[in-house]
Amino acid sequence: MISIADLNRNIFLDIYNFSHHNSILDFLMVFGAEHLIFIMLLIVLFLFLKNKNSKQNVFHIIISLTIGIISIRLLHIFFYEPRPFLSLQIIPLVYQPIDGSFPSMHTAILTILAFSFIKTKTKYGHMMLIPVIWTGFARIYTGVHYPIDILGGVIVGVLSVSIAARFFQKVKSS
């Protein structure tokens, strides 16, 4: 029987082994792994600034991001997992500091943005899942995260949005 750790490593290697063979695909994955997050933050800022009634939504995203980033920093301290390029001695496509791999900060941030939009029932909500998937896959492809790190980032992102939503419900009812 295969362990979860072996399955995680095997899926990582299945995806990572596509890298370094096609310069166009490598470019798209590096873009998704490194730069897409900044474009999405600018798009979110633009969409919320475009809607004058969105101050509460912006505050919700800020609280969700704060919860998510603090949670990930704590998880990196208490559950240190070396990045794949360290433990498997491979060459990543992107520079990454030597810090904890679990969970993925990029994936968590994009998940927070996507689920914040889904929560507000905007027409862009479900489209925001595309960058989450692209970035998650790209972070594996480029050699900086395992699949379980991506899943962990999604879970942290969803929980952060849920906790922030409960916080706002408590504030509204008091």
Q: Which two tokens stand for residue 157?
A: 């992102």
* φ, ψ dihedrals at 170, nearest 5°: -65, -40
Residue ranges of the chain whose pLDDT lies below 70: 52-54, 121
Range of the domain at 79: 4-173
Q: What is the pLDDT of residues 131-150, one digit of tens each?
A: 999 999 999 999 999 999 99
Judged by DSSP in three states, 147 sits in helix
Check residue 159 and give its pLDDT. 98
| Helix (H/G/I), strand (E/B), else coil: 82 | coil
| 147, 11 Cβ separation under 8 angstroms | yes
Per-residue pLDDT at 75: 94
- Dmax (CA) for the chain in angstroms is 58
Distance of CA 160 to the CA centre of its chain: 12
pLDDT at 121: 67
- How much is the pTM? 0.92
Query: How many structural domains compose the chain?
Result: 1
Please give the pLDDT value at position 53.
62
pLDDT at 52: 62
- Integer Cα distance of 118 and 72 in angstroms: 22
CA distance 128 to 82: 29
* pLDDT for 69: 96
- Give residue 145's pLDDT: 97
Q: Quick one: pLDDT at residue 47?
A: 76
> Is the bond into 103 cis (omega within 30 degrees of 0)?
yes
* Distance between CA atoms of residues 97 and 66, nearest Å: 21
What is the H or E stretch that residue 4 is in? helix 4-16
